[in-house]
Structure 1
Amino acid sequence: MGRGQLRVYLGAAPGVGKTFDMLSEGHRRVERGTDVVVGFVETHGRPHTAELLEGLEVIPRREVTYRGATFTEMDLDAVLARRPQVALVDELAHTNVPGSRHAKRWQDVDELLAAGIDVISTVNIQHLESLNDVVASITGVTQRETIPDHVVRRADQIELVDMTPEALRRRLAHGNVYAAEKVDAALANYFRIGNLTALRELALLWMADRVDDALEKYRADEGIDAIWPARERIVVALTGGPEGETLLRRGARIAGRGAGGELLAVHVSRADGLSSTPPGALDRQRALTESLGGTFHTVVGEDVAGAILDFARGVNAAMIVVGVSRRPRWMLSFQEGVGDRVVRQSGAIDVHVVTHERAGQGTLLRRADALSRNRRTAGWLLAVLGSIALTALLVSFRDMHELPSDLLLFLALTVGVALVGGLWPAVTAAVFGSLLLNWYLTPPYNTLTIGDPANALALAIFILVAVGVASVVDLAARRTLQAARSSSEADTLSALAGSVLRGENTVTAILEQLRERFAMDAVTLLERDGDGAEWRVVTCAGGPPCRRPDEGTAEVTVSDTVALSLRGPALEAGDRRVLEAFAHQAAVVLDRQRLRQRAEEARRLEAGEAIRTSLLAAVSHDLRTPLAAIKAGVTSLRQDDIDWSDDDETALLATIGDATDALERLIDNLLDLSRLETRTIRPTLRPVSLDEVVPRATTGVPPGSVALDIPESLPLLVTDAGLLERAIANVVENAVKYSPPGAEVTVSAALVPGTSGEVELRVVDRGPGVREADKATMFQPFQRLGDSRAPRDGSTAGSGVGLGLAVARGFVDALGGTIAADDTPGGGLTMVVRLPIAPVPVTTPDRVEETA
């Protein structure tokens, strides 16, 4: 059997009647004698839908157990074993329960189709993968169950189940979609008029594209080349000239007259890649096209009119919009314009010719001079004087040669003139030489009469060959110059683009390259807030800067708010392409630098927000623990109806004291973290002995829990004793907290081997240690070691807000030292603190009082 056919009922929203229509179609096919079964249908408690199941064979569902719960899914094997002609399978985008053969129901349907079973299914527009983010932005609800668009697109039949938003809301209000207790919430949220209207438009547009694809496929299969203007596609032909904006806006208005109109802009580039169109003009017209809701296309071809028509026929366009030619009217009498050719060859496609303010105001296209003024002067002199000199020479030896050799010599002179001076000096040499040949070297002499017809033919051929050769030589010279110029431009732009992509260039560097490339005195990038606002200088290479774009000898408008002004020698017209490319690259780099700054600022704000959020969560929880202990102890002591014993009172007072100490440490850490975040820590440096600081730092831990090994022979540290004590205290308290009962934490210090400028302090515990992956993050704020390591007393109180190590690292960094975590041999964690003996340079006199 061949592959089965798929029919899909597409709806804009739940409740429009997809399942109802699918079941109705099933009944119609049963009445026609077709073998139909219900593979899976979800009625959602809707009575009218449930009624349609009567009279149809329903395949029992398969039960699947997942995480202790039982779910029902379509029994794919049972449907395959039953082998009906048609299977009704609801909710094509459904995700199967884990443990099923396929992850998605559309994959089950694909297996049914492969077995030769026709399938009728349903899906809503919000489940299509390509529209998932659009639907989420409209409704605020992200659909978790999606289906690839191509699965629905390749269906043999797609039928849109449409309903107006008002009718669907009435259906909900009548209780035909959801239970009565859910109606009000549904109407107020997902089923608002605006949401339903937008979803309906998405469904209609997606379906229109599907119909358009089917039409194109039919035309291709049937070999139909004629235009079928089923949709208003308006093609706007652009040359890059100033009239482009007028044409685009006129085309957009025409496309907007009917529903579903499309705007397509097309620009034809020459096949040789040489174009006089400024790239900035096309960029602006591309941006305008996109802002008008259209698409911009570039095609390559020598025949501009033919390329435009081929493109229009390829997209099945209904109309082409062209502008009136900018060339003067007298020129059009010699050569037909592109617009006239499009009109003449358009056939069934309508052509809309738009007049504009530049119509007929163009000038003759000037050919770029390939030669310098000195070479052109030399060419004219060679054409005149060389012809005279050659004639005098040949006349002197008239008896030693004949006319054919004379013609070859004058032809050689003409080619030489073309090489030196270009086309027109060569043409002059050919004509002037032919006259001299006729007068002095063609019998009868000293007259323009030619006695022998063969000589007349030879002179005529000479003139034609000379002019032809001169034209070819001149064209080759011009092409050589154009190729060299294009190669130079390409190398320049390639180097520019490469440096920009590698991130090597700043805006100032690009402007400096531009200044050097064109030998300018100053290149200034200007910016303003809006049209009509004052210009301000962003950066300048050279100097002094231009305060306005028109102050320089050349200017490039990148956008309404960005411009480039150059002061220096005048530029050739061909240089503007490279100039505009530099200008746009400078604008891109400027935007990228600002985006990078904004991204960095956003990251800082995000980090600050994360810290504030974590701080709020931590404070709201961890401040309550000691406060609760303090309040409970005080409340208990104040109760008059209970006679507390001395031991009970002592225990309650001890609890209050411990909670107060914990609260004080927490507040101190929060204040220290705030100072570190705001960078207000300024060490107060003075000579400090490490054997005096470390004992003070360990006074807050239980007696006997720490063993000290601090030699008195260590050199003095020039540091901030208060900050160092706080850092060591936090590290030691953290080590004691996670050491097993009875195990001492060892604190030792020594000079770093091989150096005389650093002291290493090691805090060694025998606790559970820290995973290697956690060592990189354990010094960040609110990283709680208690999440992975249990305190020595087995409680959770030690987890805290995770500020101790963060504060310790901040203080050590401020003192010019380092702190790192290492594994203790035999198990545990060793914190290694390295401190410089030399003082840390202080750049500000501001001081922060010690918090010893």
Structure 2
Amino acid sequence: MLSDDRPDPDQLLKAVTRQEATAPTGRLSIFFGMSAGVGKTYAMLTAARARRHEGVDVVIGLVETHGRDETAALTEGIEIVPRRKITYRNADLREMDLDALLKRKPQLALVDELAHTNVPGSRHPKRWQDVVELLDAGIDVYTTLNVQHIESRKALVEAIGGITVRETVPDAILERTSALELVDITPAELLKRLEEGKVYLGERAEAAAANFFKEDRLTALRELALRLTAEKVDSDLHDLIATGGGAETWKPAERLMVAVSHSPHSEGLVRATRRIAFGLGAPWLAVHVDTGESLSPGDRATLARNLQLVQELGGELVSTADTDIPTALERIARQRRVTQLVVGRPTRRLRDVITGGSILDRLARPHADYDILVLHPEQKMAQQVAARVHRDIDRFSAKPYALAVGVVAAVALINSILLTVIGYEAVGFLFLISVMVLGLFVTFGAVTLAAVLSALIWDYFFIPPSGTLYIRQPEDVMMVCSYFVAALVTGTLAHRIRTRQRLIRQREERTEVLYDLAKSLVVHANLRESVAALSEKLRPLLFGEIDLIASTVLSALQSQSVLRRDWLASDKERAVALWAHEHGKSAGWATDTLPSSAARYLPMRA
């Protein structure tokens, strides 16, 4: 008789009840579909009316009926919070009034179109961030979402539909979802609804039918939606069994890791890692290795976007400094007990032959305790890499190579003068010393050029018979070959030493700033002098000014900042500071809350 190892449904129900009873925040329910027109808003309103009949306090924060009478009819009898007017570019636009909804604080709020981008001037750039604030306030939320707007599925949808998806929702929202309800119809039925004008109206319907709304594309999107829903159910089941004390075999044993750099390939690798990890129900992390390389402004912006994407997708971000990327990745993988390492398919370079193979070759050693998943770059990512190569060619600097050629030529001239005194054997040592010195100042490519050029000059002009590359004596052949290898290796090592010195210097500068900062805080007696010293010391690192708004005994913010900065005097900036203080979260510039502010506000807690 077969043993039944399936979890007890009663135990699962108890686990669900226990989770809901102890949940400190509101519960999120997403009505999910393959595309517009499947009936997500209709299903959401129908479910909300049923909850209202059960006695639940239901309020509409924002619902888009798109002119559909049957959808509008379902809103009758449900309280609607009036939308907030925002003036943008001399036009009055309407958005959900988040503050009014928080003040009303219903048991359940309906917020349509989760991936919507808010009008500039709103508290949050995205509507899903409004929903998160509602959840944090203890309000349950019903919302709608299409599969194309899931961040990790964005690239797949773009490849399927031939479109550009501009509005996305981070995958972390799915992990916070209490219920993901799939609203599903067949592609044929959806196309019929499009013809009847139940999806789009007029010219927009014609454009949709001619482009995105094709049966093969809708079928592929439907498969994506079904697969993601199944993955979500499987992930929730794992969590329930773990919460209910079920079998240990259900707990995830996998841990994925992906390397992130300024390469455009990193975006696709991060999305793929997130998809694989979600399917396995496993945690994942992204590692950035700082090699000390100087990046252009464009590369720094790309790196920042890739790191931000990791955070949006819910991954753990790890940063480390090392001149050797494979060594750093192996160390992190060993420390974090990684079981699967996701990498892109490498391109072969001459440098890989010298350093013992590509990054993939060095990671795939027999002693590795992890599996390696090698992914082919997506076509769009490959095009971005090709464009980057063209930009690199345009930015190519001949200065290091010109310096290498000049130094080798100068040493060759000196050797021609000293040849009768030191002999042709010693000439090679002078060339070797010049290559080593160049390695401390120029790039790896310039060092390689110097090694090749000096070997050829030594052979042609100094080793008998001179004036030809032919070498008569076998020992001279061995000497030239040994010289070339030695010059290349020592030049490479010198280049690595220079890179490592740059890393050490950066660390020393940061440490020195922190030391000076600590000393300044001890020396200065009052708050104003301390904050002024803090601003002066950190300005070179943060490229900006610093100020402090102190709180009173009753935890209210004082009316003015310590240094009385002009940019803190406006009502708008003070409102941002108050929000950060009250919610205990950062707000303002470069955050998800009121990013149009002039400053970033960080709440400090004792």
TM-score (norm 1): 0.28
Q: Which has the larger radius of gyration?
A: 1
Quick check: which one's helix share is greater?
2
TM-score (norm 2): 0.39
